[in-house]
Structure 1
Amino acid sequence: MSSTANIWAIGDVQGCCQSLNDLLAQPEIAGDPQAHFWFAGDLVNRGPDSLATLNRVIALGERCTAILGNHDLHLLGVAAGIKKPGKSDTFTDILNAPNADELIDWLRYRPLAHYAQGHLMVHAGVLPKWDVDKTLSLAAEIETALRSPNWKANLKKMYGNDPAHWSDDFSRNKRFRVIINALTRMRMCNVHGHMDFTYKHAPVADERLMPWFDVPGRVILNDDVTIIFGHWSTLGLLVRPDAVCLDTGCIWGGQLTAMRLRDHKLVQVNCEQQQKPFEL
């Protein structure tokens, strides 16, 4: 990718292919044929067109970097026979596609973190003790495991809520769970940076919990880096120098949002898709 090419970071699509097409057709984006796109994870599930969305993103080729979100990992788990489809899952069109194996392989080769031009993208968050290099290195451990011939067995070991904090001394399975949970599931933490998976709503003043990006002592603040993430539709659009949330609830009838990295210009399209009841 050219260092001068514009990069547009895009929030959670979740199978809303028409909204993605509408977003990419906006003049600021469509008028720049050299633009590249970062997708913040959760390409699939809950929306009406998971297969079409995946094909649309794949068709972008080298112009696209798509990281894995928790819904993408859930699809991999179902495809691997580790998890059963939930009643709200909408990715059977991928599993039933003639080239399903190719699509699953493409997905499991996606990164969990990506960095360029002073911006680090993850799906959910970054633990306070991790800097950019450590985040990328830990993400690479999961990426290697998912790209292995034994990826199904490796993925099976990554499920669970414990441990809820990071230690460099953790062994393989504990490491995998913490890395996966931080990068793809985290929202709230306590003051010590321990993850809490029960709270999924908009953050409120709470002496016990706070958003992961407000935990004191975050190492990454010293690196002058902006972390871009999705995953948190109840938080919605957040743009500040150190943290940008681009999950604006497309699947819930909100908007699909893109942000240009060089100047943080926003482009949004309204989404007609609405799934009820509200679920995260």
Structure 2
Amino acid sequence: MSRYAVGDLQGCLKPLRCLLDAVNFDPSTDQLWLVGDLINRGPDSLDTLRYLYSIRDSLRITLGNHDLHCLALAQGYTDRGRHPTLDALLNAPELPELMHWLQQQALVLRSEDGRYLMSHAGIPPIWSSEQALVLSAELESVLQGPQSETFFKNMYGNEPLRWRDDLEGAERWRCITNYFTRMRLCRADGELELKFKGAVRDIPEGYQPWFRWPTAPRQETLLFGHWAALEGKTGRSDVIGLDSGCVWGRHMTLLDMDSGELHRCDCH
């Protein structure tokens, strides 16, 4: 079995198929890790999700902010921020089946060999790997259970900006969600800056990319997406950014998780 990880798809199916063909991906034997933001903004959100659903047994997925937003739209919990690239998906006859499947996915995943830890936006420096996995499981239980309606109705917002162990209910869930799906910058104490989307050289004073702060030792290499302006450059061999801006006309990146080799397909 070969294992591959690929950055934010955002409805760009052709580059994904290009990369999978380049490595001779076989869904009957190989495994594909997807770092989230499977849909929205790109040209083929519906066909992308249809294809992924057809090979679902070979996938490991962490949810991104665009995936959660689509789930909220599809279930009528919000009508704001709707993007026309989602219209075909939201009007598809198989929408309930696709959304039910999407809602069962994780926020954080660790590979069975303990080599990799993956989430959409990253892991904040204030959390150990074990704490991140526990909080991911907590939020997944909310998403997949009777409290999901409360979660989606309260998902949007930036507060609280910093984690506290005594957070409860919707505030606690929102804070966990923002760390795993929206984080780029934070302070040393984990306080988030959620408006910044630019390059590292333009970071406001007092903040750093989440992966630049000291943290407890980790055994895993971290895989994340979400921050296209980084173009995958973290300056660290144990933190690999996989969002290289495909939907913005740059390229899509696929990592061979066993050899460490990177493959890229240009996007137009």
After TM superposition, the score normalised by the length of structure 1 is: 0.89
Maintained 8 Å contact 1:94/1:103? no
Q: In the alignment, which residue of structure 2 is the partner of 1:174?
A: 171
- Please list, as runs of the form range in 1=range in 2, the aligned pairs for 1:1-280 lying within 5 A after superposition: 5-26=1-22, 28-30=23-25, 34-86=29-81, 88-116=83-111, 117=113, 118-204=115-201, 207-216=205-214, 218-219=215-216, 222-238=217-233, 240-272=236-268
> 1:190-242: per-residue Cα shift (whole Å, max 9, x none)?
232211012110112654111011123x12xx122211000000111136322
Report the residue type matching 1:209 in the other structure. Answer: Y
SS in 2 for 1:269: strand
Residue 144 of structure 1: how far off its partner (Å): 0.9
Maintained 8 Å contact 2:156/2:174? yes
Maintained 8 Å contact 2:73/2:82? no
Maintained 8 Å contact 2:183/2:194? yes
Maintained 8 Å contact 1:29/1:35? no
Maintained 8 Å contact 1:79/1:95? yes
Report the residue type matching 2:77 in the other structure. Answer: I
% of aligned pairs identical? 38
Maintained 8 Å contact 2:27/2:55? no
SS in 1 for 2:229: coil
Q: Closer, same or farther in 2 for the Cα pair 1:58/1:47, shift >3 Å?
A: same
Distance in 2 (CA, whole Å) between partners of 1:89 and 1:184 is 22
Residue 262 of structure 1: how far off its partner (Å): 1.9
SS in 2 for 1:238: coil
Distance in 2 (CA, whole Å) between partners of 1:263 and 1:223 is 20
Distance in 1 (CA, whole Å) between partners of 2:205 and 2:188 is 9
Residue 150 of structure 1: how far off its partner (Å): 4.2
Aligned length: 264
Report the residue type matching 1:52 in the other structure. Answer: D
Moved more, 196-205 or 28-37: 28-37
Q: In the alignment, which residue of structure 2 is the partner of 1:275?
A: none
After TM superposition, the score normalised by the length of structure 2 is: 0.93
Residue 85 of structure 1: how far off its partner (Å): 4.7
Unaligned runs of 5+ in 1: 273-280
Unaligned runs of 5+ in 2: none
> 1:123-177: per-residue Cα shift (whole Å, max 9, x none)?
0021112112111110111111111144222221222111111111111222101
Distance in 2 (CA, whole Å) between partners of 1:44 and 1:152 is 21
Report the residue type matching 2:198 in the other structure. Answer: H
